[in-house]
Amino acid sequence: MHEEATITMNADIDKVWDLVSDVTRIGEFSPETFEAEWLGGATGPAAGARFRGHVRRNEIGPTYWTPCTVQVCDPQREFTFGVGAADNPLTRWGYRLEPRAGGGVEVTETFDFTAALWARPYWILFGALRGRRVRNDMRRTLERMKAVVEA
């Protein structure tokens, strides 16, 4: 399953990058992940860096910590992390940044769920509902980020 949402932010690309790649600020923007912290001595974004996110599923629960690993860290272009096992994540979340010719940055948030066979029954039963929730939450996250970088 793949979902994405895109928004244009009228801000400098460095400012947008700093925001989308700072996992410690995700609690300001995400409807579900209300805090995150770097692990293993990591202090910022880098491929292979680990962190954990504190999630409240659907804003009501259950609440749990989830391990994450930065998979792509291409400054001012892409920040992507996997959730779960570093070598075989259950989901991938990311941000792609593209400068606009007239100014500003087009920011796309992406979500990919594992294609493993065991996950197919879940998506058959709940995929439409979860997909809608993910799309709406990505839009909310991007709108909240936009408000900060354009302020």
Q: Which of 75, 108, 80, 107 is nearest to 93 (CA)?
A: 80
Residue type, 87: D
Q: Give me the sign of the Cα torsion angle 47, 70, 2, 143.
A: negative
At residue 82, the pLDDT reads 96
Per-residue pLDDT of the chain (151 residues; tens, 9 = 90+): 888 999 999 999 999 999 999 999 999 999 999 999 999 999 999 999 999 999 998 888 899 999 999 999 999 999 999 999 999 898 899 999 999 998 999 999 999 887 666 667 766 666 667 778 889 999 999 999 999 999 9
At residue 127, the pLDDT reads 67
At residue 59, the pLDDT reads 86
At residue 31, the pLDDT reads 94
Is the pTM higher than 0.85? The answer reads yes
Euclidean distance between CA atoms 42 and 72, whole angstroms: 15
> Residue with structure tokens 């709940």?
126
Q: Which of 85, 90, 97, 73 is nearest to 23 (CA)?
A: 73
Judge contact between 94 and 72, C-beta under 8 A. Answer: yes
Domains of the chain: 2-149 (3.30.530.20)
Judge contact between 59 and 34, C-beta under 8 A. Answer: no
